[in-house]
Amino acid sequence: MITLKSPYEIALMRKAGFIAGRALEAAGRAIAPGVTTQEVEEAARKVIGEYHATPSFLGYGGFPAAACVSINEEVIHGIPGKRIIREGDLVKVDVGAIFRGYHGDTARTFACGRIDPEAERLLTVTRQSFYEGIKFAREGHKLTDISHAIQSFAEGNGFSVVRRFVGHGVGANLHEDPEVPNFGEAGHGPRLRAGMTIAIEPMINAGAYGVRVESDGWTVTTIDRKPSAHYEHTVLITEGDPVLLTSPVVGEGESIQD
């Protein structure tokens, strides 16, 4: 069941999203050659704690960390650990925060140092595919209008879209209805209504769209071992423009302590 959020719930989600956004920024700043994926996760976890929030991912379904850190051919759900990040790596960080019972969920792909031009193009197209999608994140559109825009842009630039994993509703639960695919024909699914909160998260591969789950039960990698990129925000549908709830900037007149 899709839930429409009240103004009070949206205010809490703005704050959860702000914290998640700040945690993601901190993780990004920690990325450098020689740093471990565990150190990146710890940077995100520290920020979440500083705002007296709780990591959404820690313990979720048994996941052992506060952030997913995935490198190169790892698409999502990488478990942080002793792996050392190297110059030229693509590092995906996915982080969520719970503030007073509500979640914010966000992700980005960071370049470690200098990366090759095709990897840079993958990052650019992945990010822009998100923004092509949210052009349709407006009241009155159908859900798959977003999906189709993402797929069309990514595939039009020579990349592929992961099918097995998709975006989702967010709120009092980390994963709620509806599912938000990054592919499909336009004009299908529920009609978007003000008060819906959804995580839109393109996962774009340099090669084929097939993925597999590795033996740790979490890490998702590309079948052909080619690199992948990920970009995500929690988005509020309004009567006007969509709002990015996971922006790391508090809106005018808001206080994270309220």
Residue 170: domain span: 7-243
Tell how many helices (H) and how many strands (E) occur in the chain: 4, 15
Model confidence at 175: pLDDT above 60: yes
Given a cut of 50, whether residue 4 has pLDDT beyond it is yes
* pLDDT at residue number 145: 98
Please give the Cα distance from 245 to 108 (Å, whole number). 15
Residue 256 lies in a domain: no
- Residue 252: pLDDT over 70: no
Indicate if the pLDDT at residue 138 is higher than 80. Answer: yes
Which comes out higher in pLDDT, residue 252 or 185? Answer: 185
255 inside domain: no
Query: Is position 205 within any domain?
Result: yes
At 216, is the secondary structure helix, strand, or coil? coil
8-state DSSP, 60: G
SS3 for 104? Answer: strand
Does the pLDDT of residue 256 top 60, yes or no? no
Q: What is the mean pLDDT of residues 207-221?
A: 98
Sign of CA dihedral 230, 90, 98, 15: negative
Helix axes 143-156, 117-134, angle to 10 degrees: 160
Report whether pLDDT(36) > 80.
Answer: yes
Classify residue 251: in a domain, yes or no.
no
Cis peptide before 7 (omega within 30 of 0): no
The answer to whether 65 and 80 are in contact (CB under 8 A) is yes
Q: What is the pLDDT of residue 257?
A: 42
Judge whether 254 lies within some domain: no
Could you tell me the pLDDT band of residue 254, with boundaries at 50, 70 and 90? very low
Counted domains in the chain: 1
Closest-CA residue to 25 (of 93, 76, 125, 112): 93
pLDDT at 58: 98
Res. 63: pLDDT tops 50: yes
CA distance 244 to 108: 14
Residue with tokens 């990349």: 159
- Does 49 have pLDDT greater than 60? yes
Q: Give the pLDDT mean for 26-39.
A: 98
pLDDT at position 251: 43
Question: Does 129 fall in a domain?
Answer: yes
Q: What is the mean pLDDT of residues 201-225?
A: 98
CATH of the domain at 11: 3.90.230.10
Supply the DSSP symbol for 116.
Answer: -
The answer as to whether 208 is a domain residue is: yes
Are the CB atoms for 50 and 63 separated by under 8 Å?
Answer: no
Mean pLDDT over 50-62 rounds to 98
In the chain, the percentage of residues whose pLDDT exceeds 70 is 97
pLDDT for residue 250: 52
Is there a domain that residue 250 lies in? no
Judge whether residue 24 has pLDDT over 70: yes
Least confident interval from 8-17, 38-47, 248-257: 248-257
Average pLDDT taken over every residue of the chain: 95
Q: CA-CA distance, 257 to 21, in Å (whole number)?
A: 16
